[in-house]
């Protein structure tokens, strides 16, 4: 039996009629056409589908769309504003924090929550904080630098070097 739900995604209310078994990632990508949220493994191992639900990062392949009814959701499309890129997006750009880009949206969304909870994380805290999101291309060094860059920018500090580290 289908159910009507209402979610607020990136500040905009959406009402949809979904099957009870519809995963949130499928609602986002297929019904709402927000394709920045990637489907990677469908088993919650990779984190490519990570989004924010009420400010907390979740893997949207592990949540049913009906569980999101009434919730506030932010996807990677909701990070940038009319003023420009979100600091985490800028950090990934300036620090070469992506290669193929498949993990990038989920990695960014996880980093947004990480920095909200801890505005000045150590390298070890960053690595632990993103450990549920897998990247097969980068070796993580530039992703860590991107998160450090974003944290410094959000704190109003001098930005760390953007010299890429190639591995």
Please, what CATH class does the domain formed by 87-155 belong to?
Answer: mainly alpha
Contact between residue 162 and residue 94 where contact means Cβ atoms under 8 Å apart:
yes
Please tell me the predicted confidence (pLDDT) of residue 164. 61
pLDDT the model gives residue 139:
84
Which residues in the chain are classed under CATH 3.10.20.30? 3-78
**Which residues in the chain land under pLDDT 50?**
none
| Strand ranges (E), 60-115 | 72-74
Q: If one looks up domain 3-78 in CATH, what number appears?
A: 3.10.20.30
pLDDT of residue 58: 97
**How many C-beta neighbours within 10 Å does residue 57 have?**
24
Tell me the C-alpha distance between 151 and 1, whole Å. 45
pLDDT (tens digit, 9 = 90+) per residue, 48-73?
Answer: 999 999 999 999 999 999 999 999 99
- In Å, how far are 33, 64, 114, 144 from 98, measured between CA atoms? 23, 29, 18, 11
Confidence at residue 158, expressed as pLDDT on a 0 to 100 scale: 79
What are the helix and strand counts (H, E) for the chain?
5, 5
What angle (nearest 5°) sits at the alpha carbon of residue 147, between those of residues 146 and 149? 65
Q: Are strands 72-74 and 50-53 parallel, antiparallel or unpaired?
A: antiparallel
| Every domain range in the chain assigned CATH 1.10.150.120 | 87-155
From the CB of residue 15, how many other CB atoms can be counted at a distance below 10 Å? 9
What CA–CA distance (Å, rounded) separates 74 from 86? 13
pLDDT recorded at residue 165: 64
Q: What confidence score (pLDDT) does residue 163 get?
A: 66
């Amino acid at each position: 039996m289908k159910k009507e739900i209402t979610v607020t995604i990136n500040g905009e209310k959406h009402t949809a009629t979904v099957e009870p078994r519809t995963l949130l990632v499928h609602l986002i990508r297929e019904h709402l056409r927000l394709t920045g949220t990637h489907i990677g493994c469908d088993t919650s191992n990779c984190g490519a589908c990570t989004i924010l639900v009420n400010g907390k990062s979740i893997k949207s392949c592990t949540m049913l769309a009906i569980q999101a009814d009434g919730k506030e959701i932010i996807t990677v499309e909701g990070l940038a504003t009319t003023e420009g890129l979100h600091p985490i997006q800028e950090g990934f750009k300036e620090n070469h924090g992506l290669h193929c880009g498949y993990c990038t949206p989920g990695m960014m969304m996880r980093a947004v929550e990480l920095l909200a909870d801890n505005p000045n994380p150590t390298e070890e805290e960053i690595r632990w904080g993103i450990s549920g999101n897998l990247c097969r291309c980068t070796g993580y060094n530039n992703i860590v630098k991107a998160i450090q860059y974003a944290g410094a920018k959000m704190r109003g500090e001098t930005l760390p070097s953007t010299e890429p580290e190639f591995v």
